[in-house]
């Protein structure tokens, strides 16, 4: 404490989280752009900072959940999105079950059935379930 000339702080507290931020972080051109995008999206940024790791890739600073006022907000967003975070706040998301394998999307199957029917008029006479199986066997994942 004497060597650093400041009192000890605890990782994960609001004081530690905001230390050195908010003063000049949004004075730069990038900071002003982030604020402008947030205000355009209708986000109130008063007392909040932007955490890019919580933002959606397509919205960036326009993601409301990416503007946080407390470290607990980061944990809440991470839980909601099923993400793990490390840094000034640590949270490990629980393992999720893998999504079921879909051999071929319905839109692709419909498109391929239409193509097959154009190429071979006899294909249209087959039962729809059989058409689907033929298309998936031909265009689906190869084993």
Residues 68 and 29 both lie in one domain: yes
Confidence of residue 98 (pLDDT cuts 50, 70, 90): confident
Check: CB of residue 93 under 8 Å from CB of residue 84: yes
Residues 72 and 22 both lie in one domain: yes
Number of domain units in the chain? 2
99 or 133, which is more confident?
A: 133
- Residue 20: C-alpha distances to residues 23, 30, 32 (Å): 7, 17, 18
Question: pTM here?
Answer: 0.59
Tell me the pLDDT tens digit for each residue of 26-66.
Answer: 677 888 888 889 999 999 988 888 888 888 888 889 999 99
Q: Is residue 62 part of a domain?
A: yes
Sequence-ordered alpha helix ranges (H) in the chain:
14-18, 29-40, 71-81, 106-119, 128-139
Q: Is residue 93 part of a domain?
A: no
Question: Can you give the residue range of the structural domain that contains 118?
Answer: 106-139
Q: Is residue 116 part of a domain?
A: yes
């Amino acid at each position: 404490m004497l060597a650093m000339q400041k009192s000890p702080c605890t990782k994960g507290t609001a004081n530690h989280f905001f230390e050195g931020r908010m003063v000049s972080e949004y004075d730069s051109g990038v900071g002003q752009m982030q604020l402008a995008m947030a205000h355009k999206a209708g986000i109130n940024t008063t007392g909040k900072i932007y955490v890019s790791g919580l933002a959606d890739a397509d919205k960036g600073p326009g993601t409301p959940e990416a503007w946080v006022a407390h470290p607990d907000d980061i944990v809440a967003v991470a839980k909601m999105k099923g993400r793990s975070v490390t840094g000034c706040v640590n949270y490990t998301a629980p393992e999720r079950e893998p999504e079921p394998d879909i051999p071929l999307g319905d839109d692709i199957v419909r498109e391929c059935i239409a193509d097959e029917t154009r190429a071979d008029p006899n294909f249209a006479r087959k039962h729809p379930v059989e058409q689907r199986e033929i298309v998936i066997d031909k265009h689906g994942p190869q084993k």
